[in-house]
Structure 1
């Protein structure tokens, strides 16, 4: 019996438009014209016999039928993407797909990867970026994260601790800040938009209370660091991420660094997390991180 399915591109056009809220942005993402995407959506609605979007100003908003279809299509495309990436990985030989924050990848993992390849020349590491905002791991086998508060309980239970972490406030040497009598006083506190509990955890662990007049927020840690280097305020970061900045005196740490109990962990995200390649990566990164222990 043949499958009763609409064309795959119509589903991709629908999913992109639903996610982005705009036919124009969907067309840009898909590399198609506005007219082509519009025609695919119209064809899909005709096939369904029902409208899937309502007008919302200059954009589109899913109606109840559209939201039901969006959930189904998003899940199906995610599974298809993950399965296809696994096929590609298998075809290319032994591999492990690792998701982590962009800052950790740029400032620590990628510079240290040559050491992994020297030990495991036949294993390929593929990287994806993820964040606390949206846990979508793009088919990853392992996710590296210190803030696992928003992860499902099952994932937190299976997480493998790979390193201690220590966080501390940092700022430019010329930035006016006072650290005295268990208080950190500054004009502006810089926060990460999606890990706001970090400042609270640091205050609890250090016993130091932060007093600030204003606050700046950024969606990525490396932006918080650059804002601190530029003299915009005081950012809270993990020690490894600013080691070079501290050594070069681009930043100072007026209160030092204190440990966070949860540490950094590798969270299994697929059945391939138990593969020899994934186990080799976890063993390597645990040993590599232990060589640079936070104070």
Structure 2
């Protein structure tokens, strides 16, 4: 069966909606930019396609039949939805739009605070941040640059290492001040984040048996784990890369310098086709500058 075979041409529906609302073929013709005879002809064709009259013609005036009133409600709703759909496309028409995919923790903790710097460095760029959590495929998705957390970048992409990921305890400054040596962590409220590297690994790194270090609140999202630490709910074993802004602002403190490498890094990905666009290339270069500053800093 052919889908949508009962849907008339859009121009017929626009003319019908105007004529039904204005109760006049001539006024409808003025609104849609046609002649009165053209609207009248369209309505007869529409009624022929539907198989029943939609209007009662009374002299120069028209009135909807019961079927016409029912159909008008449907047509008006559908035309409104189509108009809304068109308006929603407006952001896609923005010049300079660069779609950047990033996990929510990276976007919230690292990229968002740097957006003013990005806008200043690349004034023509209109960033579009995607934090949906989907698997990025440059062949099927409208993503220009993707930021990922991985052991190594995938093959077949242009890649740029932003920073290695190192983990260390962080806590609200008052709580961090009470931790004088790493063993004090065994008595502290701990915040756990799901991942391959945990508290037992860091404690082993500084020569301490984990013991009861499994107690505490678990989080699947590193941004929320850091937020819990900022609220004083415990000590988080956090990515220093993601926590650096909170540490610099005084919302968190790093009580011990020891850090373990997670075995992963943050990478920017793109492909040769996307990088042909000048705005995408400028954002890519800006990311490279941020990585270089991180390396030298």
Q: TM-score, normalised to structure 2's length?
A: 0.54
Question: Aligned residues, how many?
Answer: 208
The residue aligned with 2:238 is 237
Residues 6-17 of structure 1 mapped to structure 2, 5 A cutoff: none
1:192 touches 1:219 (CA, 8 Å); kept in 2? yes
- Equivalents in 2 of 1:294, 1:186: separation in Å? 37
The residue aligned with 2:198 is 199
Cα offsets for 1:219-278 (capped at 9, x unmatched): 332211121123322212222433343345442223324555542101238953553322
1:142 touches 1:267 (CA, 8 Å); kept in 2? yes
Residues 215-294 of structure 1 mapped to structure 2, 5 A cutoff: 215-256=216-257, 257-268=259-270, 272=274, 275-293=277-295
Q: TM-score, normalised to structure 1's length?
A: 0.54
Q: Which has the higher strand share?
A: 1
The residue aligned with 1:146 is 149
The CA RMSD over aligned residues, in Å, is 4.1
Shift of 1:109: 1.6
Shift of 1:122: 1.8
1:164 touches 1:293 (CA, 8 Å); kept in 2? no
110, 113, 116: which is aligned to 1:114?
116
Is 1:96 the counterpart of 2:98? The answer is yes
The residue aligned with 1:43 is none
Q: Which has the higher Rg, Structure 1 or Structure 2?
A: 2
Question: 227-236 vs 253-262, which deviates more?
Answer: 253-262
- Equivalents in 2 of 1:6, 1:289: separation in Å? 56
Unmatched 5+ stretches in structure 1: 8-83
Q: Secondary structure at the match of 2:237?
A: strand
1:99 touches 1:140 (CA, 8 Å); kept in 2? yes
- Equivalents in 1 of 2:170, 2:225: separation in Å? 10
1:164 touches 1:294 (CA, 8 Å); kept in 2? no
Q: Secondary structure at the match of 1:267?
A: strand
1:224 touches 1:235 (CA, 8 Å); kept in 2? yes
Identify if the C-alpha distance between structure 1 residues 293 and 260 changes in structure 2 by more than 3 Å, giving closer, same or farther.
Answer: farther
2:193 touches 2:218 (CA, 8 Å); kept in 1? yes
Identify if the C-alpha distance between structure 1 residues 198 and 268 changes in structure 2 by more than 3 Å, giving closer, same or farther.
Answer: farther
Unmatched 5+ stretches in structure 2: 7-85
2:100 touches 2:143 (CA, 8 Å); kept in 1? yes
Identify if the C-alpha distance between structure 1 residues 117 and 245 changes in structure 2 by more than 3 Å, giving closer, same or farther.
Answer: closer
Identify if the C-alpha distance between structure 1 residues 213 and 203 changes in structure 2 by more than 3 Å, giving closer, same or farther.
Answer: closer
